[in-house]
Amino acid sequence: MVRYADRAANVKPSTIREILHLTQQSEVISFAGGLPASDLFPIGRMREAADRVLSDAANLQYSITEGEVRLRELLAWQSAELADPSNFLVVSGSQQGLDLAGKLFVNPGDAVVVEAPTYLGALRAFDVYQATYVAVPSDGEGIEPSGVEQAFRNGARFLYLNPNFSNPTGRTMSERRRHQIVDLAEEFDAIVYEDDPYALLRFSGEFVPPMITMSSSNVLYAGSFSKILVPGLRLGWLSGPVPMIEKLTMIKQAADLHTSTTTQALAAEALADGFLERHVLQVRAYYLVQRDRMLQALTAHFPPGTTWTVPEGGMFIWVTLPVDLDATSLLSQAVAEGVAYVPGAQFFPNGGGSNTLRLAYSVATLVEIDQGIERLGRLIARSTS
């Protein structure tokens, strides 16, 4: 038997993933995957960009680990507080940001502080570094400061948050709460990893400033082009204090040398001349229509005793079923009846949430939203009675 490193024990296949794999080959209406709508991809613009970018061999050559200067300038220009390209590191999709941060901050056995529920991809990234988790509950404003403070007092120094239109709950952290959390991080010299891929997808409510604007030393911010341009380029970025970005750059160099020169040049070219500002208007309007349709369908078809969140942006609604229902065991039945979702228990690192589930309204058509929610509502009503 070949011998694996200890950390490999934390790398396991997901049974849920296997069930959801089935939905791709069938007539199932899926609210499971967190994919952006491919209808929104600006393929004409991308082709024009490619034609220009690929006429220069430099865009096919090796490049520097930090990322293409043109792309980092575009990011720095967008960002109010971090105005210099040296505050930015281009990464191969925001999942790589999580991996690099896990490498830099997590020793085996270290406690990583997260909301419960929290983003699954973050848990999988930190699992590899043999993290343990302190799962802090949230209220209407976001993660509870008392729980975070307790975790920091007990020695934790790394807090992962997804503050805008969170995956999986769709909830947004209040400005007051953000200040409280940043103050705690500075007091204990802990790191807040601010994962913010949906920032530009706000379609209602008021803008809330990111935590990176509230601390010059203790916040590491992660952005992504996946939801605002296209995910297939695998492009994201980290921004933070220069010494931290430098350390992460060296770690990235050992991990993949640099992110594709070609995809970076494509994105920079496609986003030039204010295209991003125009394009996100369309993306927001599209998702607002999708969200509203799903909220209407939920009201029409879900039985009393179920509740759900009303996101102000992003792609997700979080549903809480009557407490005796188990969304994980319900999934096979739902798939058999032609509708899929992600059971919420997945998102709780230390257990709980068995009566919760996540719905993505980003990819289904409006008619599919009606039909799928009706099917699911019927199943839940039948299971409750």
Cα(371)–Cα(298) distance, integer angstroms? 11
Question: What is the nearest approach in angstroms of its own copies to the Cβ of residue 202?
Answer: 22
Nearer to its own copies, 181 or 373 (CB): 181
Question: What is the nearest approach in angstroms of its own copies to the Cβ of residue 380?
Answer: 28
Nearer to its own copies, 8 or 289 (CB): 8
Sort 382 into a burial class: Cβ within 10 Å, 0-12 / 13-18 / 19+.
exposed
Question: CA geometry: angle at 336 spanning 335 and 341, to 5°?
Answer: 10
CB 167 within 8 A of CB 161: no
Nearer to its own copies, 79 or 263 (CB): 263
Question: What is the nearest approach in angstroms of its own copies to the Cβ of residue 224?
Answer: 11
Question: What is the nearest approach in angstroms of its own copies to the Cβ of residue 38?
Answer: 4
Question: What is the nearest approach in angstroms of its own copies to the Cβ of residue 292?
Answer: 24
Which backbone phi and psi does 86 adopt, to 5 degrees? -70, -10
Question: What is the nearest approach in angstroms of its own copies to the Cβ of residue 102?
Answer: 8
Nearer to its own copies, 55 or 385 (CB): 55
Nearer to its own copies, 54 or 300 (CB): 54
Nearer to its own copies, 105 or 308 (CB): 105
Nearer to its own copies, 98 or 297 (CB): 98
Question: What is the nearest approach in angstroms of its own copies to the Cβ of residue 180?
Answer: 20
Nearer to its own copies, 40 or 379 (CB): 40
Question: What is the nearest approach in angstroms of its own copies to the Cβ of residue 95?
Answer: 5
Exposure class string for 199-219: b at 16+ Cβ within 10 A, else e: bbbbbeeeebebbbbbbeebb
β partners of residue 191: 158
Cα(50)–Cα(143) distance, integer angstroms? 43
What does the block give as tokens for 272? 């030039």
